[in-house]
Amino acid sequence: MRLTTKGRFAVTAMIDLALHSGDGPVTLAEISERQKISLSYLEQLFGKLRRQALVSSVRGPGGGYNLAKPTDQVSVADIIVAVDEPIDATQCGGKENCQDEHKCMTHDLWVSLNEHIFAFLRGVTLAQLVLQQQARARDEKVMELKDQRATRREPAAPAAPAVSA
């Protein structure tokens, strides 16, 4: 089972939108620049996200996209399903025709894996991912401060007077 670029980019773009939407609508050009995702690809993804009511669009000057729901009500599974990303580890796409038009011996194993993956992704919210990114940004700032302090030179202490014997 592999999550394709479509699902990865959709989740990444939604995290970016959530992180930057406090000042009003966010343009796809801004997300594209920050995340290095093609603008035309984002337009396709956001069309699907809008149709599934995960984002709303604002037209005109100062327009862009907003989240349509609170971040704690949007799961990673919601995002992935909205962009038509299949979450399927079976070879047959769930059609049970894996081996000579019959269900293969491991079909039920892969179906069970699909269910576990989907349950996991349903349990991870956009709010959690945003908090994780905010904590990471804080940690990086703290690390920068520590790095700067470690390289800063202290003023040289005055030399001790020589003692004669």
In a domain, 33, yes or no: yes
In a domain, 68, yes or no: yes
- Give, for all 165 residues of the chain, the pLDDT tens digit: 567 889 999 999 999 999 999 889 999 999 999 999 999 999 999 999 999 999 999 998 889 999 999 999 999 999 999 998 777 777 776 667 766 777 778 888 888 888 898 899 999 999 999 999 999 888 877 766 666 555 555 556 666 666 655
pLDDT at 67: 97
For residue 30, the enclosing domain spans 5-86+125-136
What is the number of structural domains in the chain?
1
In a domain, 165, yes or no: no
In a domain, 18, yes or no: yes
HEC profile of 41-63: HHHHHHHHHHHCCCEEEECCCCC
Alpha helix locations (H) across the chain? 5-20, 28-35, 39-51, 76-82, 107-123, 126-151
Would you tell me how many other CB atoms lie within 10 Å of the CB of residue 89?
Answer: 18
Question: What is the number of alpha carbons within 13 Å of residue 88 lying toward its C-beta?
Answer: 12
- Report the CATH number that the domain containing residue 25 is assigned in CATH: 1.10.10.10
What are the tens digits of pLDDT across the range 111-142? 888 889 889 999 999 999 999 999 988 887 77
In a domain, 38, yes or no: yes
Predicted TM-score (pTM) of this structure: 0.78
